[in-house]
Structure 1
């Protein structure tokens, strides 16, 4: 019989707002972080640079837009592309788990009853509920994680904002697993402990919410108009991923915007509902690729 498991709600702790926010997302362009939780050093190469990362050490590499090569100590090579619109991220050759956690900052004792709790995420068998995401992908994209504070950076006790009327703001931090466990224990005052019951529903489980695997969709619609639009989008995104030219990619992004704007100005209410839903899914898949800051080639 499976035992019930405790759900830990990641609520906002006493973090506060003050006056003026100077956080600049441009500061993170090209900044990709890495760390190592293993006893032995983590060694890898990016292009012609060799990295050796000791246990719990945090490193960062500045990568310019363009194609790069990641190589492990076993000689496995993985090409990837950094796009000009990137906001940095995490390079993860050892496929460790990383987390993006949304911290709510509030003014005084202000409380918003409508803050969404988010999904459940399991970490070593413990269930956490709140604004938290996880990934073990080799390339973790900060265009999706939106971390204001990267690996090794502390979350400040208070932040400042420009708008005096604001009562709350969200800041996101990226954590390694060990860093998140330490953060949880410090802020909650509780010891992190996995379920002892081997029959527990979530025993030794770890949730991965984001794969960062971008699959090119297929155009298969019965309606000729939707089929034409879908074929155009699929062809565009194939060219976008194949291209190693930043200039060509920018032209394709502009073309993508034109296609989307044309669609928004069109009345789609006459299309079959299932066809519309399927087309919307295709558009979202294409949008995810266009919005990405880093993609494995």
Structure 2
């Protein structure tokens, strides 16, 4: 299997619509895509409004910042909060797997300068290592699952830019499973058909959205003090129904994070490997929570 990092031509000229930066918040804010990767009509509700979609189709809807409720055809409900800092996402009422694939666009001879991160992923029983994220979250947050091109919109064959010094870029696209299989078969001549009926369900997830706020457990008292300040602020975000809560607390959360780093640096040279790993995971997890534009309730 190729690494799915094909090279397209990046030429100078007028900036095309398809070449805009990944998920410009001004153009995709509050826009949520959905698709039907099955052979049956998809039906679901959002805020008691009915939606229906034929097999193989994709659509989108606007969701204003605030609380929303989704219900699938089986009656399963999920409430979720859309914040002002959102950049849209994917509505996934039946927990299908969605993918985000990275592609390299570069001028001739510059392709090796761009290296998309590779991930382990299984599709129809095929174990691959390619620049592909996969998730089956009921609401997929585009703040974290950042696609340059949404469901149903193809990768362009080339992109152009006004920047004559530009040598290339990495672009991403969101796919449902049938769309991804068709793309890989067409662009890379690789068929990922299941070898057995059971293989059709052997698909892996390599990205999950963790909505838990970690409880600080640092041995150093100053680091613990600052970490507790940060998690207390995150708990305010978690409990609030104010869609603009991030803007109101961001300054304090940024300061608390900086204070954690400053305190931890003083003890890091004498800390154990396990302590340093815990610190790194804590910073990663709290940073992701701060970045969410959508949180399940």
TM-score, L = length of structure 2: 0.88
Q: Give a deviation string over 1:28-70, Cα, whole Å, max 9, x none.
A: 1111111112222211111132111111111101111111111
Question: Could you tell me which residue of structure 1 aligns to residue 8 of structure 2?
Answer: 15
Question: Could you tell me which residue of structure 2 aligns to residue 60 of structure 1?
Answer: 60
Listed as ranges, the matches of 1:248-287 within 5 Å are: 248-265=245-262, 268-271=265-268, 272-273=271-272, 274-287=274-287
Shift of the 190–276 alpha-carbon distance from structure 1 to 2, 3 Å rule, reads closer
1:15 match: secondary structure: strand
Hey, what's the Cα distance between the residues in 2 that align with 1:203 and 1:286? Answer: 36
Tell me the CA shift for residue 167 of structure 1: 1.7
Shift of the 238–187 alpha-carbon distance from structure 1 to 2, 3 Å rule, reads same
1:228 to 225, 229, 232: 225
Q: Give a deviation string over 1:169-221, Cα, whole Å, max 9, x none.
A: 111000010000000111123433233598xxx88521101121322101222
1:207 aligns with 2:213: no
Count of residue pairs brought into register by the alignment: 287
Hey, what's the Cα distance between the residues in 1 that align with 2:217 and 2:8? Answer: 50
Moved more, 260-269 or 176-185: 260-269
Hey, what's the Cα distance between the residues in 2 that align with 1:117 and 1:224? Answer: 37
Question: Could you tell me which residue of structure 1 aligns to residue 101 of structure 2?
Answer: 101
Question: Could you tell me which residue of structure 2 aligns to residue 91 of structure 1?
Answer: 91
2:277 match: secondary structure: helix
The runs of at least 4 aligned residues of structure 1 exceeding 6 Å deviation read none
The 8 Å contact of residues 230 and 279 in structure 1, kept in 2 or not, is answered as no
Hey, what's the Cα distance between the residues in 2 that align with 1:163 and 1:48? Answer: 47
Q: Judging by fraction of residues, say which structure has more helix.
A: 2
2:265 match: secondary structure: coil
Instruction: Kindly report the root-mean-square deviation, in angstroms, between the aligned alpha carbons of the 2 structures.
Output: 2.2
TM-score, L = length of structure 1: 0.88
1:240 to 231, 237, 240: 237
Tell me the CA shift for residue 257 of structure 1: 1.0
The answer for unaligned runs of 5 or more in structure 2 is: none
Question: Could you tell me which residue of structure 2 aligns to residue 50 of structure 1?
Answer: 50
Question: Could you tell me which residue of structure 1 aligns to residue 195 of structure 2?
Answer: 195
Q: Give a deviation string over 1:3-39, Cα, whole Å, max 9, x none.
A: xxxxx12243342112254515121111111111222
Shift of the 218–266 alpha-carbon distance from structure 1 to 2, 3 Å rule, reads closer
